[in-house]
Chains A and B, each alone.
Chain A
Amino acid sequence: MAGGKTLELDRREVVARLLADAGELLVVTGLGSATWDCVTVMDRDLNFYLRGAMGSASSMGLGLALAQPQRRVLVITGDAEIMMTAGALATIAAQGPKNLSIVVLDNEAYGETGMQPSLTASGADLAAMAAAAGFQLAETVWDEAALARALPAILTGDGPALHAVKVKAGNYPHAMPPGDGATLKDRFRLALLGPDAAA
């Protein structure tokens, strides 16, 4: 409850809003709840789910955004996942991919390990960190009205963008991705690249 504000948004509803018109959106999710959320809300071939390698989601988004500059890339991850490689925010800002958006589902806790408070609970401000690193756009989203305002920028605005969306702590049931890492990687490439995926 950083700054004494109440966490009120529901993470699954936030993800549902993000993916409502996913279309050609390229999505990478960070391990833990962000992956379970996206599997549950809308599993699709152009979602790639991490279930490990903590700290790698934003970097995967960068490599993908640079490889596919005409497509919007959305990274959906947790606050502790992105905090682990906070320096990567500077790496991303230096490359300046306009097509990369990062949405942090910031519940101020380690949801997978017993809801221990994370560093954002102590006041660390991920949007301010992204802005200081040089992100084109960085905002904290506290409520439904702010989320509605932010959605166009998240999905079509000039990046790199980071939105720290404050969500209620609390876990939904796990939802496993439909296959192992290699399967998910291959289906993503087939959907995106078609016959060129073999190269």
Chain B
Amino acid sequence: MTDWPKDIYDVLKEAGIAQVSYVPDAGQARLIEMCDTDNEIRAIPLATELEGIGIAAGAWLGGQRAALLMQSSGVGNCINAFTLLKNCRFPFLCVVSMRGEFGEGNPWQMPMGQATGKLLEIMGLVVYWARRPEDVRPTMEAAIQIAFSAMNPVAVVLSQQLIGAKTYG
């Protein structure tokens, strides 16, 4: 069986990502743990997701590559900060794990989850969805190209079909 969290981690490593900032999400718990325990990656827990955009821009100014990991809820916290990326053509990669999308059980997750993909597109990010484990690695590899060669902000969105919907009692 494809170990897709490891695939994401491996692609981040192969691409030389030096700073990984995040607000934790259960859907990325293993990936975060791998980044936290890697001495070559600076793992940066955030108070709010929009900090990760400034951090990625600052890292790039200083010659390093960064990535932001967040739940779909966090995309809403980022909207105005995304303008930094387009105004300055900063490369940017985020990995978004979905709530409120496929088989969600919490009504509070639905409005943001249903808007997440559209909002990312409206703000000018290239959006790649990953729904099956075997799609994750090639999707991440394509996203690295978009971010750091084509110099366009990009989001890899991990569907609840991939990560599983959280169950409630």
Contacts and interface: CB of A to CB of B under 8 A. Distances in A.
B122 interface: no
Given A54-B80, A185-B88, A185-B89, A60 B47 contact: no
B83 A63 contact: no
Interface string B13-55: 0000011000000000000000000000010111110111111
A189 interface: yes
B59 A64 contact: yes
A60 B63 CA distance: 13
A184 interface: yes
Centre residue among B42, B58, B83, B87 by max chain A CB count within 10 A: B58
Contacts of A167: none
B62 A192 contact: yes
A63 B63 contact: no
Interface string A48-61: 10111111111111
Contacts of B64: 63, 66-67
Nearest to B43: A95
Contact of A50 (B56, B62, B84): B84
Contacts of B66: 63
A199 B148 CA distance: 8
A189 B151 CA distance: 15
Interface string B53-82: 111111111111010000000000000110
Centre residue among A55, A66, A90, A94 by max chain B CB count within 10 A: A66
A18 interface: no
Contacts of A87: 46-48, 51
Given A66-B64, A88-B47, A60 B87 contact: no
Interface of A: 26, 28, 48, 50-68, 85, 87-88, 90-91, 94-95, 180-182, 184-185, 188-189, 192-193, 196-197, 199
25 contacts: A51-B87, A53-B54, A53-B81, A53-B87, A56-B51, A56-B81, A59-B53, A59-B58, A60-B54, A60-B58, A61-B58, A63-B57, A67-B59, A85-B50, A85-B51, A87-B46, A87-B51, A90-B47, A91-B47, A91-B51, A181-B88, A182-B87, A192-B62, A197-B63, A199-B63
Across the A-B interface, the 6 shortest Cβ-Cβ residue pairs: A63-B58, A87-B47, A67-B62, A59-B54, A181-B88, A56-B54
